[in-house]
């Protein structure tokens, strides 16, 4: 699955300095996203649907038990006020929102399917007067129920949390400025964290188009985690055994 973001040439330079949330930028330049599916054997490309402007779709994830059920998010809250995360079935005209954030007291994103195809791991932030509190949630799609748990170390800034193939662990990278990938285990209503590797993406200067986020991915046997980092002055792919 790919999300092809339609960005006019005139918007490319402006995108380097756009702030967050980028909603006004998307509106001004009419940015939309075309979702496509690519057959890796034949190379055939199937256009699924287009999220009309203003829309920048990210974190596209195919349900592991149903390849026509797509999980994704909007970068920025538009065009919806309910939230950023959505589920949509190929061939249907509407999307189903995940995790209501209309209260304005919480932000959610960075969604990933569990291997059972029923649960979604995601990153959230409670917006408190004292500052942001990061947590990792599990959304039960059958009951439409979000269960949200704090980290045992409140100084950690959660980001992408990818479930292991057996669903017992999450591999979590962190917000820029923090280092390493951690393994998360849920016990007694708290995510217990263990450092898997201290290799990070903040130890070298990167060009604008290179990404600092590690984006951990489990190997199919659950024994390793693939991620990207910039330890040698440029972005490379690494593997850590767990």
The count of residues in the chain is 242
User: How many whole angstroms separate alpha carbon 31 and alpha carbon 29?
Assistant: 6
Q: Which two tokens stand for residue 46?
A: 């199937």
Cβ contacts of residue 62 below 8 Å, gap of 6+? 1, 69, 70, 71, 113
DSSP state of 141: T
Question: Which residue did the predictor score with more confidence, 75 or 219?
Answer: 219
Burial class of 15 by CB neighbour count within 10 A (0 to 12, 13 to 18, 19+): middle
How much is the pLDDT for 166? 97
pLDDT band at 22 (very low <50, low <70, confident <90, very high): confident
Question: Taking the complete model, does pTM exceed 0.85, yes or no?
Answer: yes
DSSP state of 15: G
Q: Which two tokens stand for residue 241?
A: 């055994």
Q: Each residue of 111-146: pLDDT tens digit?
A: 999 999 999 999 999 988 888 899 999 999 999 999
The answer to whether 143 and 127 are in contact (CB under 8 A) is: no
The answer to whether 216 and 173 are in contact (CB under 8 A) is: yes
Q: Each residue of 164-213: pLDDT tens digit?
A: 999 999 999 987 667 789 999 999 999 999 999 988 776 666 666 666 67
Query: Please, what are the domains in the chain?
Result: 1-98 (no CATH), 106-242 (2.120.10.30)
pLDDT tops 60 at residue 79: no
pLDDT tops 80 at residue 12: yes
Q: Which two tokens stand for residue 51?
A: 């999220």
Three-class SS state of 87: strand
Q: Which is nearest to 174 in space by CA: 205, 212, 119?
A: 212
Q: Which residues in 79-101 are b (16+ Cβ under 10 Å) and which e?
A: eeeebbbbbbeeeeeebebbbeb
The answer to whether 28 and 39 are in contact (CB under 8 A) is: no
User: How many whole angstroms separate alpha carbon 172 and alpha carbon 72?
Assistant: 18
How much is the pLDDT for 195? 94
Put the strands of the sheet holding 131-140 in their side by side order.
106-113, 119-128, 131-140, 145-150
């Amino acid at each position: 699955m790919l999300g092809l973001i339609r960005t006019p040439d005139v918007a490319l330079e402006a995108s380097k300095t756009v702030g967050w949330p980028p909603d006004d930028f998307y509106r001004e330049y009419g940015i939309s996203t075309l979702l496509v599916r690519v057959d890796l054997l034949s190379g055939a490309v199937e256009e699924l649907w287009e999220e009309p402007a203003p829309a920048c779709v990210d974190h596209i994830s195919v349900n592991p038990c149903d390849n026509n059920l797509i999980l994704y998010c909007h970068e920025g809250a538009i065009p919806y006020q309910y939230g950023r995360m959505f589920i949509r079935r190929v061939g249907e005209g509407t999307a189903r929102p995940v995790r209501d954030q209309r209260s304005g007291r919480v932000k959610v994103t960075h969604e990933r399917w569990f291997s059972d195809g029923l649960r979604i791991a995601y990153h959230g932030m409670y917006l408190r007067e004292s500052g942001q509190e990061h947590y990792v949630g599990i959304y039960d799609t059958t009951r439409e129920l979000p269960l949200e748990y704090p980290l045992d170390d409140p100084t950690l800034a959660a980001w992408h949390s990818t479930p292991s193939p057996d669903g017992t662990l999450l591999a979590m990278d962190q917000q820029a400025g923090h280092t390493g990938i951690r393994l998360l285990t849920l016990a007694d209503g708290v995510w217990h964290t263990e450092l898997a590797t201290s290799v990070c993406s903040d130890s070298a200067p990167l060009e604008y188009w290179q990404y600092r986020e590690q984006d951990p991915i489990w190997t199919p046997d659950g024994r390793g985690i693939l991620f990207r980092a910039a330890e040698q002055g440029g972005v490379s792919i690494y593997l850590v055994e767990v």
